[in-house]
Every structure is written in C-alpha cells, then in structure tokens.
Chain A
C-alpha cells in the first residue's frame, strides 16, 4: 500500500477509534465528576467503580445468561433454517421455486415497526411472551440469511452433487456430508451477524420480556437506568456499553478469518 493510502487509512482509523476510546475513558470515571464536566474523562483519577457496580447488580448474571441463550438459539436456528432453504433454492428444482424465492426477498422491505404489534398479539395468543421461544422465534425469519446461503450454495460446483449421487448417496446425505462442510465459512459469517443483531436487538425483547427474570442484557441494562441517567450516571452507562459489547467483539476476533474467507465464496454471483 502506498504512503498516501496509509495516511488515509490512519486518519479514518483515528476518526473511528476516538469515540470508542472516549467511551472507554468515560466508563473509568466517577459519575459525579462527569456531571460537572464530561471533559473530565481526559484526565486522572480513573476508577473501576462503575464496573464493580455492574458486577454487583443482582440480576446481571441472569440477564447475561438470557442473552447468551437467546442469541445462541437464534443463531443456531437461523443457520439451520437458512442452510436448508438456501441449499434447496440454489440447487434443487421444485414447483414455484422462483416465486417462493421472490416471496422471501419481499421480507427485506418489511419495517419491524409495521409488524411488531400484530406480532405481539399473535405471540400473546400463543402464550409465548416471557419465554425463550418467544424471544428467539421472531429472529429466525429474516430473509437475509436465506439470500446469503442461496448465493453461497450456488457458488459450489455442480459436479460434486452428480459424483455423490452416482455413489448412491441420498439427497440429505449429500447435503449433510458433502455440501454443508464446504459452507462452514459462510456459516461463521452469517452466524456472527445474526448473533450481533440478536445481541443488540431492543424493541422486541422490551415488549415481549416484561418480567425481569426474562430480560436480556440490553433490556435489563436499560431498566437499570433512571430517566435522567444521562446526566447522573454517564460513567456507569458507558461501563455498561463496554460490558455488553465485549462478548461480541471477542466472538468477532475469534471468527475474523472465517468471515472474510466466507464472504469471498458467497458474495453474490
């Protein structure tokens, strides 16, 4: 890379990093000091008090566990459903294939706010509020995953299928033993993005999980704020942000290689 490009990236990185660094600094400051002057974040003394308060929060472990279960469940569900559907849309011939695929893509245009209330009433009739299935199911129907997996399956050479079928493998064995392992990088990518979206989702858990023992981390941390937390608890708020984001950042760092490799295979041909 040329010097100019490095300088450009460097400036971009600084713009990118400054707010993040600042968040970290704020989270290490006493709340009272910040109320007088948010600029105080740039100078000592720093303290871990905010993080201590978070860890002492009686329900925090429960909320963390809920978030892990919900995000993990959503991710597993999306990967399963989208791999199955993506495989069929890409490589099988069946009635209404094109129509059904278009029907799925239609979903990309549906705003969450347009369906959230009828959805809420449906889940009430099914008795699913304040339950893990109630929190997981709405996350499973996003069309992006189907689209993404379809593209990836299309990219795998057709000859593989024919060879396997000649060996007498069933359609499912072919899918399970031959093709699925090839899509692992795509699974990692879709998995990370699904996990991320689920981890940060706010509106659905807010109105579906109304009992504190079912709160996810985002909703739980929001309930801990008072109405004017911005002024009286800025440091605490930022500590919460750091605390809630760390798990995903770790997941990303672990899967970084797979993600880029995956997209190379998948992206859209």
Chain B
C-alpha cells in the first residue's frame, strides 16, 4: 500500500468518484430530501406544512405501525435462519463437478429468475385452501384444507415459505463459492488426524465459511427487513394487517393515502432499524472472531 504519494492519492479518488457522484445524487440526496419531508405534513403534489416531529410522534402511538414492525421482525426471523441453513446444506451437497450437481444447482437457482408477480401467483395457487395444491393433497388423505392466506397465525409463515423458495439462488451460490475457497490441504490434514465427517465439518468447513455466513446473514437480513412485493400481492397484508410488513405500510401511506410526510418518517425509522440490526450482527461476529 506504500506505492505513490500525493498523485496516487488523487488517483484513488478519481477511481471511486464516478460511482460516489451518482450514488450521492441518486440515492443519498433523495434520502436526505426524505428526512426533510418527514418533518412536514406533505402530500404527493407539493403541499407542505412544517410540523416538526409530529410524524415521528404519531408513529410511536400508531398500533398499525407497531403491528407492521412486529410482522417485519417475525418475517425476518422466520426467513433468514432457515434460508441460511437450507442454502448451506444445498451448497455442501452440490459442491461437485458432476453433471447432475450442475443440473440441481441450476434447478435451485431457477426460482430466482422469476419476478415477484409470478412467484406470488404461483404460490397463491399452491396455498389457497379452496383448490390449492396443498389443499388437494390434504383432501386426498382426508384432512381439512388449511387457510394459509386467511388465518392470522398462518399468513406470515406462508409468506416466509414463499420467500425462502424464491430466494435460494444467491446465498447458495455464495456458499458454493466459499466452499471452493477452502484449501484441499486442510481437509487432507484433517483426514490424517482421522477426524470423522462431523468433526471435519464442525472443525474445518464451518469455521472456514464464517465470513460467507456473515455476508449471507447480513445481506438477507437487510433484504427481508425490506420485504414488500410478496406481502402486497399474496395477502395484501391481511387479514386485518396480520401480515403487513413496514414497507407495505409505507407504500400504502404514500401512494394510497398521499401522506408523504408520515410515509417518509416511517421509512427513516426503518432505515435506522436495518442499519442498527446489520451493524450489531457485524460487530458481534467480529468481536467473537477476535476474542
């Protein structure tokens, strides 16, 4: 890192400048503009009345917002750990050079190419209690169909299953990559020590994957805290808001109710939340590795 003096320093800035410039204008400026709007009663068409922290105060007392926050956490907890575990297992099983492994990798990746509109359409037909696939199977064995999309206790699990099915591709690929990075010699050494398969997995494979695991967990946590399309299209947040995540609420606040100020306030809260949660994950992980 010691090469070059002042010139090299400027060169470094020149390399990052194009991205940073666009990033600042297209993402950060709107974010800041949103913070300003959140201190106003505002609609979509430029009406603005300054109200200070009123919108934030409203959020604190709004049971619908609380419910949405809880739903968002539930969804994240129901999605991220299973998704991480399943994709890890898949990567372990499919980390082979054979043709069949390549075929299965393609298959497990294929759901990621579908857009959310189609994913929800497919899962509606699987889950609907009236004529869905699950209902047909249950009926065949003489059981009552399960109202996945209308029972308040089942809608969030239904959304979670749909999301896991849809999101396998990227984490699986990341784990596969992580596995290929582990040097053969470590396994050979383990074999010499007569370590069993489980021991090898716990002592060698898993520790070597810890950074990949952290990446997967952080990316997925950030993504699932912002879950939106599935809830909007599959359950519309219902019944009675039982499956409405925060981003769906933000969408309703801005486009249906035109309460732009209130919506941006909720969005800022969500932003801080995602930031905090992922930072905590990162710091906890780093401290443990260093300690």
Contact = CB atoms under 8 A, between A and B. Distances in A.
Contact of A202 (B3, B117, B124, B267): B117
B31 interface: yes
Nearest to A91: B1
A118 B37 contact: yes
Contact of B222 (A97, A108, A171, A222): A108
B50 interface: no
A262 B177 contact: yes
Interface string B1-39: 111100011111101101110110111111101100100
Q: Output the residue of A18, A38, A222 with the most chain B CB within 10 A.
A: A38
Tell me the interface secondary structure of chain B in the complex. helix
A215 interface: no
A153 B201 CA distance: 29
Interface residues of B, number: 92
Contact of B15 (A20, A37, A88): A88
Contacts of B247: 111, 113
B22 A111 contact: no
A159 interface: no
A114 B122 contact: no
Interface in B191-237: 211-212, 214-215, 219, 222, 226, 228-229
Given A85-B15, A241-B118, A109 B180 contact: no
Nearest to B246: A111
Interface stretch (B52-60, B61-69, B90-98, B148-156): B90-98
Contacts of B226: 111-113
Interface in A2-42: 5, 8-9, 12-13, 15-20, 22-23, 37-39
B126 to A, nearest CB: 6
Contacts of A13: 104, 107-108
A269 B180 CA distance: 13
A248 B122 contact: no
Nearest to B12: A94
B20 A113 contact: no
Given A16-B165, A111-B247, A253-B106, A244 B15 contact: no
Nearest to A230: B121
Given A89-B16, A138-B26, A249-B113, 17 more contacts: A8-B93, A20-B110, A84-B19, A95-B13, A107-B23, A108-B274, A114-B271, A115-B30, A115-B34, A117-B34, A193-B170, A196-B113, A200-B114, A238-B118, A241-B117, A268-B174, A268-B215
Interface of A: 1, 5, 8-9, 12-13, 15-20, 22-23, 37-39, 80-82, 84-85, 87-89, 91-95, 97, 100, 104, 106-119, 121-122, 137-138, 140-141, 143-144, 146, 161-162, 165, 171, 175, 189, 193, 196, 199-200, 202, 218, 222, 230, 237-238, 241, 244-245, 248-249, 252-253, 256, 259-269
Interface of B: 1-4, 8-13, 15-16, 18-20, 22-23, 25-31, 33-34, 37, 44, 86, 89-90, 93-94, 96, 102, 104-118, 121-126, 131, 133, 136, 165, 168, 170, 173-174, 176-178, 180-181, 211-212, 214-215, 219, 222, 226, 228-229, 247, 250-251, 254, 260, 263-264, 267-268, 270-271, 274-275, 278
